[in-house]
């Protein structure tokens, strides 16, 4: 891999070069990888139409770079360390050679079962090495993977399968998380009964060996697929702009959209950022606790580390099982050097008490990362002191599913860290703040809407099957800019602090959920006429879900209604979308144009009654008093 940025001067030089001549800068970064044919042009961008292309005409296969390239020198090196949910069960380790063989074998199995370049393959699997093997096998043969977080409901899985018309679904029999076993295959069957005719075959990995429903001629065991397949597989040579994967994420309107990333740009950017952001040193163990069902897992559990020949740790379980010292025990056991997690996990572990961090040897930890949501000051300090022992710097990394890789972050040991600040843009990243009219807010000590004014290699290419939605969502609010949906502040030294979303997206425990999706699910309840959902400050989750509902008939048992509403949310979205608070109201505050005034609902949810703002424009101002009174009665 290319030499790292290794000093502050180096960072400034790199940054300047990346702005002055982006094509030259990104060409030189791309040369750190193996291409079977070099690109004809580095980039082509049209923010008006939402079109961005990188390394046009270049040919590659990302798995050559993740696997084959490391075989010569480090075939015995551990690629994956798998830590099971049950601490008594044995750790599994796969060397680069073993991972390469397994990927090739499964890739051959996929080909033998009719999967080829451009076909969509859906994964609904727990955190197992086989998930990584399956994903890389798709990449090997040019199939497009679409991973669905295994915590989503059958209905959500069905929506995603249909949207991408996936041909194959790969799952496990059961998923084990903490003390629970989740019947994944049963959920799959339920999803497939919701009109997923596109699925021809289901491949099941035997994880627990528990009994499962089975459809002959459609369902196949993983081991039957690989049976007799060769451990070498000729990679499909991909065009740089061929899609690598689809990953669904929520927006402010409608159903989740399938963010499309392509082979060349995504490879360069995740490889580059992993190397630089974590200041990766050969031989280090990297542990990103994110589930592979999210972009963080794609980029920093799988692709970024493997592109750099790192050892990536995969954990099947949850931070609090069997007790809140589990993370630290794993760090000690495997001498983890880079630890990357979410603020919600930090807050949950902090709340469990300091004693869980005491007595574990965390001295191997060199860098601590956080991602997914704003980190509060208290959690930042706790992480820095209790886990980082005041030595390992905390890097607060800001990015999105749509950006593919980390965009704004401190560089450990190179730039300073400041609690709650994602700090400085990486080379190639050009953030700007604008006001609601799109005017740039210049100078430091400023606050505004966060936009990016120039493309980077892993910028979203399209939303699957509906490019107009991509253009609308990211490139239309402020012509000529990519709009992130976030609000940010720039301090006196130019560091960025991410304040949060300004659209109708809630960030619950680092998971992005659209209020529209939640409302649609709640409205499925027979007794609900209308609902409005807002996010509000929650001590562990960052944001909690607060639902206001108008009922058809009054109820005597509000607790039962609350439970039923949550059942709908679990059914339509998944347990992550459960409401934290439900308020029954006789009306919702609406403007004369019929828009719900969510600002007011957010204030009531947070019991902030001082500054309700101008309510005179409301169609029904009398409702405000009712909401405020009811909110005062809430805990």
- Provide Rg for the chain, Cα atoms: 24
> Which residues make up the interface to ligand WT7 (CB under 6 A)?
249, 294-296, 371-374, 396-401, 422, 484-486, 498, 500-501, 507, 512
Shortest separation between residue 552's beta carbon and ligand WT7, angstroms: 34
DSSP, collapsed to helix, strand or coil, labels residue 501 as strand
Angle between helices 558-572 and 515-523 (to 10 degrees): 120
Angle between helices 558-572 and 154-163 (to 10 degrees): 30
The nearer residue to ligand WT7, 169 or 488, going by C-beta atoms, is 488
Return d(Cα 503, Cα 194) in angstroms, integer: 31
- Which secondary structure element, helix H or strand E, spans residue 522, and what is its range? helix 515-523
The nearer residue to ligand WT7, 54 or 380, going by C-beta atoms, is 380
Is the alpha carbon torsion for 479, 481, 482, 483 positive or negative? negative
Shortest separation between residue 398's beta carbon and ligand WT7, angstroms: 4
Contact present, 271 and 265 (Cβ < 8 Å): no
The nearer residue to ligand WT7, 78 or 417, going by C-beta atoms, is 417
Contact present, 309 and 70 (Cβ < 8 Å): yes
DSSP letter assigned to residue 65: I
User: What Cα–Cα distance (Å) separates residue 367 from each residue in 275, 305, 338, 372, 411?
Assistant: 13, 15, 5, 17, 10
∠ at Cα 67 (65, 73), nearest 5°?
100
The nearer residue to ligand WT7, 141 or 318, going by C-beta atoms, is 318
Shortest separation between residue 498's beta carbon and ligand WT7, angstroms: 4
Shortest separation between residue 299's beta carbon and ligand WT7, angstroms: 8
Shortest separation between residue 550's beta carbon and ligand WT7, angstroms: 29
Shortest separation between residue 250's beta carbon and ligand WT7, angstroms: 8
- Token pair of 202 as six digits: 């289901």
Shortest separation between residue 402's beta carbon and ligand WT7, angstroms: 7
Is the alpha carbon torsion for 444, 449, 454, 460 positive or negative? positive
The nearer residue to ligand WT7, 201 or 512, going by C-beta atoms, is 512
Contact present, 4 and 273 (Cβ < 8 Å): no
The nearer residue to ligand WT7, 499 or 555, going by C-beta atoms, is 499
- Token pair of 562 as six digits: 């609350």
Contacts of 4 by beta carbon, 8 Å cutoff, 6+ apart: 275, 276, 279, 280
DSSP letter assigned to residue 472: I
Is the alpha carbon torsion for 411, 417, 422, 423 positive or negative? negative
Shortest separation between residue 505's beta carbon and ligand WT7, angstroms: 7
Return d(Cα 349, Cα 214) in angstroms, integer: 40
The nearer residue to ligand WT7, 420 or 550, going by C-beta atoms, is 420
Mapping DSSP onto H, E and C, the string for 173-213 reads CCEEECCEEECHHHHHHHHHCCCCCCCCEEEEECCCCCCCC
Shortest separation between residue 294's beta carbon and ligand WT7, angstroms: 6
Closest CA to 292 of 175, 384, 398: 175
The nearer residue to ligand WT7, 396 or 504, going by C-beta atoms, is 396
The nearer residue to ligand WT7, 4 or 400, going by C-beta atoms, is 400
Shortest separation between residue 254's beta carbon and ligand WT7, angstroms: 16
- Which secondary structure element, helix H or strand E, spans residue 14, and what is its range? helix 8-20
The nearer residue to ligand WT7, 422 or 477, going by C-beta atoms, is 422
Shortest separation between residue 59's beta carbon and ligand WT7, angstroms: 29
The nearer residue to ligand WT7, 42 or 422, going by C-beta atoms, is 422
């Amino acid at each position: 891999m290319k030499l790292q940025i290794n000093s502050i001067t180096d960072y400034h030089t790199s940054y300047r070069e990346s702005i002055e001549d982006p094509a030259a800068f990104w060409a030189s970064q791309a040369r750190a990888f193996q291409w079977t044919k070099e690109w004809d042009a580095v980039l082509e961008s049209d923010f008006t139409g939402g079109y961005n292309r990188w390394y046009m005409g270049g040919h590659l296969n990302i798995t050559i770079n993740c696997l084959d390239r490391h075989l010569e020198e480090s075939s015995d090196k551990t690629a994956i360390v798998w830590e099971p949910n049950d601490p008594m069960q044995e750790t599994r380790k796969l060397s680069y050679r073993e991972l390469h063989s397994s990927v090739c074998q499964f890739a051959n199995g996929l080909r033998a079962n009719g999967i080829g370049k451009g076909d969509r393959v859906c994964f609904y699997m727990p955190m197992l090495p086989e998930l990584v093997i399956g994903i890389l096998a798709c990449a090997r043969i040019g199939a497009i993977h679409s991973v669905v977080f295994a915590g989503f409901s059958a209905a959500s899985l069905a929506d995603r399968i249909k949207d991408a018309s996936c041909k194959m679904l790969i799952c496990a029999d059961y998923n084990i998380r903490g003390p629970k076993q989740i019947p994944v295959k049963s959920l799959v069957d339920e999803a497939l009964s919701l009109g997923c005719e596109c699925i021809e075959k289901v491949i099941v990995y035997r994880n627990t060996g528990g009994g499962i429903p089975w459809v002959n001629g459609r369902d196949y065991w993983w081991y039957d697929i690989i049976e007799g397949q060769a451990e070498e597989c000729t990679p499909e040579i991909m065009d740089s702009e061929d899609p690598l994967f689809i990953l669904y994420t929520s927006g402010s309107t409608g159903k989740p959209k399938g963010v499309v990333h392509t082979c060349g740009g995504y490879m360069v950017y995740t490889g580059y950022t992993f190397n630089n952001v974590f200041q990766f040193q050969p031989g280090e163990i990297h542990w990103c606790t994110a589930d592979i069902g999210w972009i963080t897992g794609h980029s920093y559990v799988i692709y970024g580390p493997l592109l750099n020949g790192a050892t990536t740790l995969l954990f099947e379980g949850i931070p609090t099982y069997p007790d809140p010292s589990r993370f630290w025990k794993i760090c000690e056991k495997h001498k983890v050097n880079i630890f990357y997690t979410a603020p919600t996990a930090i807050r949950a572990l902090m709340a469990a008490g300091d004693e869980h961090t005491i007595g574990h040897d965390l001295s191997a930890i060199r860098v601590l990362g956080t991602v997914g949501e704003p980190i509060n000051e208290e959690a930042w300090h706790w992480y820095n002191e209790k886990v980082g022992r005041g030595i390992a710097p905390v890097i607060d990394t800001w990015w999105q599913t749509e950006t593919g890789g980390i965009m704004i972050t401190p560089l450990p040991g190179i730039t300073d860290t400041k609690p709650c600040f994602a700090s400085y843009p990486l080379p190639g990243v050009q953030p700007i703040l604008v006001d609601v009219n799109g005017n740039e807010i210049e100078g430091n000590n400023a606050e505004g809407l966060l936009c990016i004014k120039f493309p980077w290699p892993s910028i979203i290419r399209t939303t699957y099957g509906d490019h107009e939605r991509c253009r609308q969502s990211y490139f239309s609010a402020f012509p000529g800019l990519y709009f992130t949906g976030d609000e940010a502040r720039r301090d006196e030294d130019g560091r960025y602090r991410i304040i949060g979303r300004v659209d109708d997206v809630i960030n619950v425990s680092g998971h992005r959920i659209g209020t529209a999706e939640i409302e649609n699910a709640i409205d499925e309840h027979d007794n609900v006429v209308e609902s409005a959902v807002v996010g509000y400050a929650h001590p562990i989750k960052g944001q909690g879900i607060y639902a206001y509902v108008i009922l058809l008939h009054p109820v005597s048992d509000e607790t039962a209604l609350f439970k039923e509403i949550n059942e709908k949310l679990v059914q339509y979205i998944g347990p992550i979308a459960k409401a934290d608070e439900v308020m029954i109201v006789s009306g919702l505050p609406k403007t004369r144009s019929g828009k719900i005034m969510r600002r007011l609902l957010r204030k009531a949810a947070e019991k902030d009654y001082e500054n309700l703002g101008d309510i005179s424009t409301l169609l029904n101002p009398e409702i405000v008093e009712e909401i405020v009174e009811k909110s005062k009665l809430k805990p």
